């Protein structure tokens, strides 16, 4: 029974993708009859799929012709995918150089729906290092990536993060909204943010912002290591090397503004 249900779900997904691809390949908007003929499905079946895709924003219906084209949600997803691919392409060689220079794990994180999303992770070269699974989404308020992004992003991320109640990963995890705001202000002042032991005991993470061509902070590059090698307040040399990497990646993305210089005050 479960296999039959799973098979039906896969079939439904295939039909939905076939509809999206058919409309994407068309030079103009497409009607139900045309989709039905092209895909070999009944009009009623096509209409049900198209109705759901339109309600979710993946398709758009012309109010005059009643025909369908690609929706704004697909456009937004395409823009996000494009920007992330560009980010990965320019960030990876700089991240590798940073990892080799400091021997620590280096992560790249972007902005997700409810937190930061790990886009790339290069494990350090020390005997014992911690890795983070690519695709993991971590709360804004208890991560160094989230704090530095909130500090420099133009989006009102802090307001939404203060309403969240993130999991208490360790006894050092803090979700106090007032403390969160103070940490974001400190990150803005220093040019970097840390989150010692807030997700894993004994581990610190230190992040700096990455800026797009328009000057908005869209991501963060992060050093991760044990407190033995990456203390709660890192050495200025570590911060300067990390910031230099963040500045290089930002410049490759087209940013021409003044990059924040790290301080430990």
pLDDT digits (tens, 9 = 90+) for 139-157: 888 899 999 999 999 888 8
Residue 83 has pLDDT above 70, yes or no: no
Does this model's pTM top 0.75?
A: no
> According to the model, what pLDDT value does residue 3 have?
47
Residue 2 has pLDDT above 60, yes or no: no
In order of their start, the domains of the chain are: 2-70 (1.10.10.10), 80-252 (3.30.450.40)
> According to the model, what pLDDT value does residue 11 have?
84
> According to the model, what pLDDT value does residue 82 have?
53
pLDDT digits (tens, 9 = 90+) for 12-45: 889 999 999 888 888 789 999 999 998 999 999 9
Average pLDDT score over residue span 179-190: 93
DSSP string, 183-241: HHHHHHHHS-EE-TTSSSTTEEEEEEEEE-TTS-EEEEEEEEEETTTS-SS--HHHHHH
Mean pLDDT of the chain: 87
Average pLDDT score over residue span 74-81: 66
């Amino acid at each position: 029974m479960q296999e039959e249900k799973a098979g039906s779900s896969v079939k439904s997904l295939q039909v939905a993708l076939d509809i999206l691809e058919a409309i994407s390949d068309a030079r103009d908007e497409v009607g139900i009859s045309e989709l039905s003929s092209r895909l070999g499905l009944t009009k009623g079946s096509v209409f049900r799929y198209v109705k759901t895709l339109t309600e979710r924003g993946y398709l758009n219906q012309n109010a005059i012709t009643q025909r369908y084209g690609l929706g704004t949600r697909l456009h937004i997803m395409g823009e996000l995918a494009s920007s992330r691919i560009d980010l990965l392409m320019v960030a990876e060689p700089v991240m590798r150089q940073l990892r080799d220079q400091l021997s620590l794990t280096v992560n790249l994180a972007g902005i997700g729906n409810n937190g930061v999303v790990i886009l790339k992770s290069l494990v350090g070269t020390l005997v014992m290092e911690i890795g983070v699974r690519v695709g993991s989404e971590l709360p804004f308020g208890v991560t160094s990536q989230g704090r530095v992004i909130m500090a420099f992003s133009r989006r009102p991320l802090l307001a939404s993060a203060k309403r969240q109640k993130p999991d208490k990963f360790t006894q050092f995890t803090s979700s106090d909204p007032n403390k969160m705001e103070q940490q974001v202000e400190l990150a803005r002042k220093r040019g970097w943010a840390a989150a010692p032991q807030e997700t894993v005991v004994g581990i610190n993470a230190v992040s700096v912002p990455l800026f797009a061509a328009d000057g908005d902070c869209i991501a963060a590059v992060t050093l991760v290591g044990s407190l033995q090698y990456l203390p709660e307040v890192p050495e200025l040399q570590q911060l300067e090397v990390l910031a230099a990497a963040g500045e290089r990646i930002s410049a490759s993305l087209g940013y021409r503004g003044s990059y924040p210089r790290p301080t430990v005050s």
